[in-house]
């Protein structure tokens, strides 16, 4: 897509962090924006801020894990604007980043949001983009989708990377005119480490179980890395440019990308992998 002004973008997870930055960037490009999030008060405030750029901006409270709610998001988008052109499947949660025992309910919550939210986004919006022969989908994955990790977040992001690349090949092969991008952020200054504020009760760790000193140290380290990460507005500029230039991969940290060389070398050499040496912040 070479022209965004006057067209419509849908962004999930838009009340804060990268989603809010995406919505703001697209509004500054002259797009109408549908902002979706599960947190109603925050969403209202975010919509008011983005609308200050002068385009039409609406908010829709949506749980992306709920297929019916995503259908409602698609229907309202068409009712309000008649078309959709850019879709950012961005809503995501980290789960219990302190670690501990594997919690099946927590895994289900994380996969429902991070993976099924993307799947529902494809199901609802992709036919509209294909029918009009124009549009772009951006799926927010993560560098965690390329690195080893025995957790729900890593599993969900590996899946998003895979299906997004598959969608890209499908859209190219069928010559649909629909572009696809896979956003793989490193550390970005968001509140992803506190996403358990929206955790359903059944997926939360038992209240009586205090995190160990090691688990608390792991959380604090991650929180520091995230909060000192790249500003979301810079990532939004990269996403905006990827839509205009029809770019598939969007990496925010090329040092992390370089660290993947060990992984790919071990595959080519058929040897056991070592954990990549990540660059220091």
The set of catalytic residues is: 153
Q: In this structure, what token pair is assigned to residue 223?
A: 């929180």
**Residue 178 and residue 127: Cα distance in Å, rounded?**
10
Per-residue b/e over 20-29, b at no fewer than 16 CB within 10 Å?
bbbbbbbbeb
Q: Sort residue 175 into left (φ over 0), alpha (ψ -120 to 50) or beta.
A: left
Instruction: Confirm if 117 and 65 have CB atoms less than 8 A apart.
Output: yes
What's the residue count for the chain? 281
Strand order in the sheet with 178-184: 57-61, 32-37, 8-12, 86-89, 135-140, 178-184, 249-251
Q: Which long-range contacts (CB under 8 A, 24 or more apart) does 105-112 make?
A: 105/200, 105/202, 105/203, 106/152, 106/199, 106/203, 106/204, 106/205, 107/152, 107/155, 108/203, 109/65, 109/152, 109/199, 109/200, 109/203, 110/152, 110/153, 110/156, 111/152, 111/155, 111/156, 111/159, 112/65
């Amino acid at each position: 897509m070479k022209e965004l002004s006057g067209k419509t973008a849908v962004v999930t997870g838009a009340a804060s962090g990268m989603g809010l930055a995406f919505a703001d960037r697209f509004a500054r490009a002259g797009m109408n924006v549908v902002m979706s999030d599960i947190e109603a008060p925050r969403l209202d405030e975010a919509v008011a801020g983005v609308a200050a750029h002068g385009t039409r901006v609406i908010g829709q409270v949506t749980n992306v894990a709920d297929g019916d709610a995503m259908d409602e998001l698609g229907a309202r988008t068409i009712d309000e604007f008649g078309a959709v052109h850019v879709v950012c499947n961005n809503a995501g949660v980290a789960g219990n980043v302190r670690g501990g025992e594997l919690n099946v309910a927590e895994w289900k919550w994380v996969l429902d949001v991070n993976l099924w939210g993307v799947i529902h986004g494809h199901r609802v919006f992709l036919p509209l983009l294909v029918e009009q022969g124009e549009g772009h989908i951006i799926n927010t994955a993560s560098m965690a989708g390329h690195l080893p990790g025995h957790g729900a977040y890593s599993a969900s992001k590996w899946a998003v990377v895979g299906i997004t690349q598959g969608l890209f090949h499908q859209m190219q092969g069928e010559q649909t005119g629909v572009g696809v991008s896979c956003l793989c952020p490193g550390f970005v200054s968001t509140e992803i480490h506190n996403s358990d504020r929206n955790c359903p009760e059944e997926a939360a760790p038992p209240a009586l179980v205090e995190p160990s000193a090691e688990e608390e140290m792991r959380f604090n380290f991650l929180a520091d890395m995230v909060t000192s990460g790249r500003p979301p507005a810079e990532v939004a500029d990269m996403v905006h440019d990827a839509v205009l230039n029809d770019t598939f991969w969007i990496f925010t940290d090329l040092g992390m990308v370089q660290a993947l060389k060990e992984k790919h070398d071990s595959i080519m050499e058929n040897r056991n992998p070592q954990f990549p040496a990540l660059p220091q912040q």
